Amino acid sequence: MTKPMSPKRALPGPRDVLSRAALLLDLDGTLLDIAPTPDAVVLEPATARHLALLHKGLDGALAVVSGRRLDDIDRILAPLRLPAAVEHGALLRLHPDEEARRGPLPEPLPAWRDRAQDFVDARPGMLFEPKTVGFVLHFRRAPEHGEEARAFMESLAGENPAFEVLQASMAWEMRPRGVDKGVGVRALMAEPPFAGRMPVFIGDDDTDKDGIAAAEALGGMGFLVPDAFGGPAEVRAWLASLAEGLERGAG
């Protein structure tokens, strides 16, 4: 199991970030406050402005690395579009105006999606979230069904060894084996505008530890919100300080 870096490590300042870094940001629980449902998250206008400034100031080397679908990210950030590694690295978009690339990954059987939807429909409060190469069962509003949902998802994964079940924030996710946020970080950092920069990855839970490990292996830094920040508000404040540094000429 990969481990988060030490929480004592100092965050890079505006000059370091703007001169040589690539910012790689998780979304839920990192940039955005957790909401009761995935569709209920809100991006503050000031944060959208700061992200736009940083994306331009970093010559495009700012990306979202998330388990979400790409259309979800574009909806949340609209009208801003950013590079992204989504669905835990399964799809990659290096530039805002290009189509996402998808690797040769299996898709879950249609019958699995149908069975998962039936499972959720029978348990009020649960949510089914489809993805391109997997799906998620959310139990934030029905925590009493969490363990039952885990057992159900593991029973499905047992039918096809190409898939695994991942624990997320009050959710269980089905995804192809070999896909994680570290894959997304490495893919982003291999090509312009990210190549040659120092990756700085920020996430908030176990799904982000592979991204942290990849950033550190590439000579960069990784931070978990519970260790390095008090919560998403502090992440947004740090990004605001970077954007303000950019406007002042990173002095």
Would you call 71 a catalytic residue per the annotation?
Answer: no
Residue 69, both tokens: 């679908």
Per-residue pLDDT of the chain (251 residues; tens, 9 = 90+): 334 343 446 788 777 777 889 999 999 999 999 888 888 899 999 999 999 999 999 999 999 999 899 999 999 999 999 999 998 888 899 999 898 887 767 777 889 999 999 999 999 999 999 988 889 999 999 999 999 999 999 999 999 988 999 888 899 999 888 888 998 999 999 999 999 999 999 999 888 999 999 999 999 999 999 888 999 999 999 999 999 888 776 54
Q: Domain spans of the chain?
A: 14-102+179-247, 110-169
Is residue 187 within 8 A of residue 85, CB to CB? The reply is: yes
What's the pLDDT score for residue 5?
40
Q: Which of 26, 28, 180, 204 is catalytic?
A: 26
Fold of 14-102+179-247: Rossmann fold (3.40.50)
What's the pLDDT score for residue 104?
65
What's the pLDDT score for residue 1?
38
What's the pLDDT score for residue 248?
75
What's the pLDDT score for residue 3?
40
pTM to 2 decimals?
Answer: 0.78
Cβ-in-10-Å burial (0-12, 13-18, 19+) of 100 comes to middle
